[in-house]
Structure 1
């Protein structure tokens, strides 16, 4: 229950921030263009809170359904415009002003992404050095000659510092279908070039983890079964496990290390286990029952405890990237650009059938990721927020009626033909847009339910 509440709270906070920033972009642009704003609402449906501010008595509201928001402007198409305020109605503005107001929402999301990524880099981003672990025989990684223990140094001439960055860069080249040069450092410290064929887009961009399809796993050192962070209210917490406990045995069988411990926990969903711990030089017995959770491979056990990262083998693989304000802003802009181009590329491959539509996630999966990142720490949550902010900006720019991109499409047509699109065409477009959005939401919910229930 605690995990669910954490995910729910993190999701509401994330969506609240993203929607507020998006709508504030529209609001600020409208004010700059002299358009009168009637209401600024975060959420849809019945208002839970509302107040009026400013000379225009603009209503600011928080509504009951936290899955979006809107800025309502004075508009002759939606009601009567008071005499003397015609010049402040949105529909009376020039093409440039209307385009600016509509574009400002998505633009605000991209600026937010740059900001949160920059703060993330200033706080410090923890990662794992891109050292190669197990290689799947016959996979693209195997055919490229990658070997266990090699560290990826450069991808297509660009330095990489951790697995997250390596994964992002490799995925970007997979979307393009490139054969990409890699420079790796072998066990003797020599730099060797490999060539990785990523042309099989349909395979590499299918359902599941990209690195699994690539045939490479991050290197996992032999770690002791020492407990690190314990989630509040989790099975580990209820059983009395604490940070620093060393797991000695389970049901009378010795536990060799962390990987062996994790495998046995995953295989024991819903089963009561007798666990022997060593704490402060004293051994004690506890009873632990892993909670069943759904994963791609089926039902697995989970206890809500991580490995102690302060072990020599872990410290050798860990990296922390921390930057000053100026450098962090530059890195934030670069990360936003990388996520944007990658997202657009994957969306296009979905349209052409070269990427699985099962990669589309709905609110359930987003909430799960929000909760997980919030538990990991502020940097992880900021990274999650930046990625979703980019996604929200891109989705709103899609040329679908009802979205900002649909309005911009109408304005482009208006610029070409010299007059606004007819009201009848706009009504038909809205109906098509509603169907497209509904279909997208149904697909996203279906994917969420499939992940949850297999």
Structure 2
């Protein structure tokens, strides 16, 4: 029964969510590649041995593979699923056949085809957020202080109950979500909080404290906190409704927040303000999928949007074997007027593969350590 619970509660939601995101990502590559005249030989959800599939009229093999941890589109003339050119095989192609390969396409078509995957993930996230905002609206609370926690950064700065936060480092805020989002990724970083008190504006300097909190599922998360209790936590909030156009705009904004927050987190890792143990791999994603499933379909869909942005950003990392690495190669080609040699590309792909595998091992180790702890 325990095994059955793990399968239905964690694995199935995880596989469904990840497969959707991978399908959208690879479909971006596929559609733009086909539009560019590049032949596609395989479209796979998952890696490893094929479980089921079919070949369409264009010669593309559509398949489900055994290991559901990603997927790929393989173009004609590629050596493997990472779209590394088959330098030896390309020599024996006719000019007409070479024009149907990724390596033989014009530079801008190659760049568009590669970039289409991450872009599709960002667009999916925007669409998901827009639909959620249109259907459910958004629960918000005004950034008014209900209580100040003792010995907190806000208490030290002189914040008082009834104060209204109106700006952070000069950027206007509208809801307490804006405050939480801004402060949480800035532990131990001085910020200036502009408040309104009895009709007067005051600028208060404070440093968010690095704090480990435990969410409703028992997961430990480290973030910056200033020690303000809001009306939302006191049960006072409202639901904002959006028209379809407004919902799309909010979807773009929400996606942008995730992108900027991710870059800020990476910067915090580099500077030592955040721990690397927050990086999660497939085990943590599966755990999160199962936990969100207990909250309902809307929570799972929202998680899918966040993960979609993460997949798009991950693939844009300038690492060979990832989409970002290919785009770096194309940028170098545009500057040099010719592509890097096959030998240099082969070495770069091997290094890139080692980097990706190392990151996966590290993230999985974090997952296991988190579960044990």
After TM superposition, the score normalised by the length of structure 2 is 0.83
Partners of 1:175 and 1:345 within 8 A in 2? no
Q: Provide runs of 4+ in structure 1 moved above 6 Å.
A: 204-207
5 Å-filtered alignment, 1:138-217, equals: 138-147=151-160, 152=165, 154-155=167-168, 156-162=170-176, 164-171=177-184, 174=186, 177=189, 179-183=191-195, 193=202, 195-198=204-207, 203=210, 208-211=221-224, 213-216=225-228
Render the CA deviation track for 1:118-173: whole Å, top value 9, x for unaligned: 111112245362565664544322223234565645544534334x443113345x
Partners of 1:74 and 1:89 within 8 A in 2? yes
Partners of 1:123 and 1:379 within 8 A in 2? no
- 1:208 match: secondary structure: strand
Render the CA deviation track for 1:230-280: whole Å, top value 9, x for unaligned: xxxxxxxxxxxxxxxxxxxxxxxxxxxxxxxxxxxxxxxxxxxxxxxxxxx
Aligned counterpart, 1:107? 119
Aligned counterpart, 1:121? 133
1:9 to 4, 7, 12: 12
Aligned counterpart, 2:76? 74
1:181 Cα deviation after fit? 2.5
- 1:451 match: secondary structure: helix
Q: Which runs of 5+ in 2 are unaligned?
A: 79-84, 214-219
5 Å-filtered alignment, 1:54-453, equals: 54=57, 56-75=58-77, 77-78=85-86, 79=89, 83=94, 84-127=96-139, 129=141, 130=143, 132=145, 135-147=148-160, 152=165, 154-155=167-168, 156-162=170-176, 164-171=177-184, 174=186, 177=189, 179-183=191-195, 193=202, 195-198=204-207, 203=210, 208-211=221-224, 213-216=225-228, 314=235, 317-453=236-372
1:180 Cα deviation after fit? 3.0
Partners of 2:222 and 2:274 within 8 A in 1? no
Q: Tell me how far apart the structure 2 counterparts of residues 336 and 369 of structure 1 sit (CA, whole Å).
A: 19
1:33 to 19, 36, 46: 36
Q: Tell me how far apart the structure 1 counterparts of residues 352 and 187 of structure 2 sit (CA, whole Å).
A: 27
After TM superposition, the score normalised by the length of structure 1 is 0.70
Q: Which runs of 5+ in 1 are unaligned?
A: 222-312
1:363 Cα deviation after fit? 1.7
Render the CA deviation track for 1:390-444: whole Å, top value 9, x for unaligned: 1111111111111111111111111222211111111211221122112211221
Render the CA deviation track for 1:337-394: whole Å, top value 9, x for unaligned: 1211121121133233333212211122222222222322333333222221111111
Partners of 1:370 and 1:384 within 8 A in 2? yes
Partners of 2:144 and 2:165 within 8 A in 1? yes
Pairwise CA RMSD of aligned residues?
Answer: 3.0
Paired residue total: 352
Q: Tell me how far apart the structure 1 counterparts of residues 127 and 348 of structure 2 sit (CA, whole Å).
A: 35
